Amino acid sequence: MIFKKEREEIVEYGKKLVQNNLTKGTGGNISVFFRHDKLMAITPSGIDYFKLKPEDIVIMDLDGKIIDGKHKPSSEYSMHKIFYEKREDINAMVHVHSTYCTTLACMDWELPAVHYLVAISGGKNVRCAKYATFGTEELAQNAYEAMEGRAAVFLANHGLLTGAKDLPNAFNKAEEIEFCAEIYYRTKTLGEPKILEDNEMNKMLELFQSYGQVKDK
């Protein structure tokens, strides 16, 4: 089985999506890109994360051809593919339907700098991409455009997408941004939260080039 280690890692993180309340049921998807081989490993469509086995992870090229695997890839594979084609800093992606990020996305709101951890997104905010039907090229393009200069984006009326150099970091960004989205939601129920100024967020962005990274095991 090719890319056995990476397939095992995707299975592990698929379970963590549910265990860490980042998605429900079979919602969301995970992928890893093998840049040297121009191949992508991605979760299959509609299979329970706790029933996934490494051989269920689909290996495909960027033209959509399945190289190894017996299942259909996630319907969102084009949304992963566009980043691997156009962003050399991204080699893993996590898409989730987490409660608070999705709540903000359903309001068509961005996530401002309510907490310094917003900087883990790679910017001073997390933008919200224009709505498009799931699994479409339009959604992929909208997500790509809204995530310019960032490592995370809300998908309107849908969820959250994060990208990073590897899967642990992409997952970590999803967790931290969901935390910030919850803080924003809760503070909005009390009044208007105090948003950090740009000069402070610039400091955070500098610090997070190293501090915000999950280290290799």
Query: Taking the CA atoms of the chain, what radius of gyration do you get in angstroms?
Result: 17
Dist. CA 134–CA 76, nearest whole Å: 7
* Helical segments of the chain, H only: 4-19, 77-86, 99-106, 137-146, 167-190, 198-207
Residues 6+ apart with CB under 8 A from 17: 23, 28, 30, 49, 94, 96, 171
In the residue annotation, 6 being an active-site residue is answered as no
The phi and psi torsions of 170 (rounded to 5 degrees) equal: -65, -40
Strand pairing report for 39-42 and 128-129: unpaired
Residues 6+ apart with CB under 8 A from 172: 120, 164, 214
Q: Which of 9, 76, 176, 178 is catalytic?
A: 76
The residues that bridge with 33 in the sheet, in sequence order, are: 40
Q: How many CB atoms lie within 10 A of CB 55?
A: 14
**Catalytic annotation, residues:** 76
